[in-house]
Amino acid sequence: MNKFKILAFESSCDDTSVSVIDSDYSVLSNVTSSQPQHADFGGVVPELASRLHMKNIMPLTRAAMKEAKVSFNDIDAVAVSVNPGLIGALLVGVSFAKSLAYSLNKPLIAVNHMLGHIAAVKIEHRDIKPPYVALVVSGGHTELVWFKSEKEFEIIGRTRDDAAGEAFDKTAKLLKLGYPGGPVIDKLAQRGNPEYYRFPRAMNRKDNFDFSFSGLKTSVFNFVNKLSPEEREKHIADIAASAQEAITDSLSRKASAAVAAKKADTLIVAGGVSANSGLRKKLLKLSKKHKYKFYCPSLKFCMDNAAMIGAAAINKYKNKEFAELNLNAFSTKGVRFI
């Protein structure tokens, strides 16, 4: 097949992103606009996110095309994240992508956001092929997925309550550290004592790959409220480090156990939480100990971005898996929907 270029869009939450990627996973441009306005509310406000996507998507498209040094005539397909996510935010991207595909008479490709995160690894490791285990971990999702092939996979573990990213955000909120919580907890934890307090690790059975973080949230809440303001201030880095230790310990142990159970030789970790330095260190150590390959995206491709959507669309383009122009967005369905 001749080389081709895909124009990709991501708008599932509070990042508007547009990318041009070619058929060998080379990212020609990847332009993203975040929305710091949500920090004032302690979380993402859906309507505000949608309005900002509408404001940003056209200028970002122009910027991505300019950076990639291409015109619309050079584009062979349009890809867009369709689920899961905030429905209003998704609809902005889907509506724009459909209009563009129609006006350019180009194929439209629907991409699952979580499969996009997994595909981000291929941008820098394009030869990775199933079988492998993937840990998809973000603010809204924590799932272990066993890939037998590109199209044949099963979820072998998922969170029963809070996602790991949500646990980071709620811990940061309890410590009055602001939103989003993941990066600030990670930075603070690097100068704290991870053994200061042992927060609970739930669902520890070796044959169970599900996660639970609600008990951790409650434990942090109870522990912090027992401290005086002076004690809290003195040990804030230790509390952050101890909470991060509990979260990353659960994630890394379950992921490594899943690799062993499936007799796999490769683990992929993707999603916003894959940027966490503590998680990366634990998984790298475990992969060396148990002799399996460990891959995760570089930091710039961990967070929501359109390059990962384009990467996930490459095989779909090759297989002519195109969407109709009546394509709709879905707020849920997780990784099960392709």
pLDDT tens digit string along 60-85? 999 999 999 999 999 999 999 999 99
What confidence tens digit (pLDDT) does each residue in 87-133 have?
999 999 999 999 999 999 999 999 999 999 999 999 999 999 999 99
pLDDT of residue 236: 96
pLDDT of residue 282: 97
pLDDT of residue 205: 76
pLDDT of residue 150: 85
pLDDT of residue 44: 75
What confidence tens digit (pLDDT) does each residue in 278-332 have?
999 999 999 999 999 999 999 999 999 999 999 999 999 999 999 999 999 988 7
**What is the rounded average pLDDT of the residues 27-45?**
81
**pLDDT class for 40, splitting at 50, 70, 90?**
low
Produce one character per residue of 186-223: b if its CB has 16 or more CB atoms within 10 Å, e if not: bebbeebebebbebebbbeeeeebbbbbebbbebbeeb
Helix (H) or strand (E) holding 143: strand 142-147
Percent pLDDT > 70 in the chain is 97
**What is the rounded average pLDDT of the residues 254-258?**
96
Whether 338 shows a pLDDT value over 90: the answer reads: no
In the CATH hierarchy, which fold is given to the domain comprising 130-296?
Nucleotidyltransferase; domain 5 (3.30.420)
Whether 337 shows a pLDDT value over 60: the answer reads: no
**What is the rounded average pLDDT of the residues 236-253?**
97
- 5-119+301-336 and 130-296, same CATH topology: yes
Position of tokens 């020609």?
A: 28
The domain limits of the chain are 5-119+301-336, 130-296
Q: Which CATH architecture has domain 5-119+301-336?
A: 2-Layer Sandwich (3.30)
φ/ψ of residue 108, rounded to 5: -110, 135
Query: Are β-strands 153-158 and 108-112 bridged in parallel, bridged antiparallel, or unpaired?
Result: unpaired
CA angle (162, 164, 170) in 5-degree steps: 70
What pTM, to 2 d.p., does this model score?
Answer: 0.92
Looking from the CA of 135 toward its CB, the CA atoms found within 13 Å total 32
* CB distance 137 to 269 below 8 Å: yes
Question: H helices of the chain, where?
Answer: 46-68, 87-104, 113-119, 164-174, 181-189, 214-226, 229-234, 236-261, 277-290, 306-318
